[in-house]
A and B are shown apart, each in its own frame.
Chain A
Amino acid sequence: DADVTQTPRNRITKTGKRIMLECSQTKGHDRMYWYRQDPGLGLRLIYYSFDVKDINKGEISDGYSVSRQAQAKFSLSLESAIPNQTALYFCATSDSGQGRSDTQYFGPGTRLTVL
């Protein structure tokens, strides 16, 4: 079984709809992240969480919110989806034990299309 899973893998929605992307991990890591990937822009950090009570904005948090329901679960919500949120979304985890050299482990991604 995969260590970091994301659901759904693909989603098509309409402008104005609320949508939630879910991430679960079995690695036992305390740190979790949400990124979006756009062609030619690499990955950009949306939100990150270092434990259940710690939530932080990344560089592109506007229009998104997150919830850390448990150490193993971190969900990303789009309150009112818009077409420019069409992208590939990745969840990642890391273990705080390594400090700045933390390796991040990625889920398989969710392809979101907003019409």
Chain B
Amino acid sequence: AQSVTQLGSHVSVSEGALVLLRCNYSSSVPPYLFWYVQYPNQGLQLLLKYTSAATLVKGINGFEAEFKKSETSFHLTKPSAHMSDAAEYFCAVSYSSASKIIFGSGTRLSIRP
């Protein structure tokens, strides 16, 4: 069965520091992978997605993620954290042609001043 694992339910970094949110997937077929962000009291919005083109995917707000097949990983990074990045981040995998998505359990990102 396909699944997504996010390492760390809570990550705290200082403003200006590197952000690294980890995601590993299990998939028997080439996956389509997503990162979504949820700001407080809002729904989820797409940050970026991997669809088998370039392995380094750039998203909104300076975030990017690299697909590494050998490590079955799709970690999310941002070189310099901003206070406005505080939110919950979800990694997700599409596991069929039916557009269904499996979400990870989420990682809450806190930014220290």
Contact = CB atoms under 8 A, between A and B. Distances in A.
Contacts of A44: 103
Contacts of B43: 4, 90, 92, 106-109
Q: Interface of chain B, helix or strand or loop or mixed?
A: loop
Size bin of chain A's contact surface: 20 to 34
Contacts of B49: 101, 103
Contacts of B45: 105-106
Nearest to A111: B41
A90 B32 contact: no
Interface of A: 4, 31, 35, 40-45, 48, 50, 58, 90, 92, 94, 96, 99-109
Interface of B: 9, 32, 34, 36, 41-46, 49, 51, 90, 94, 96-101, 103-106
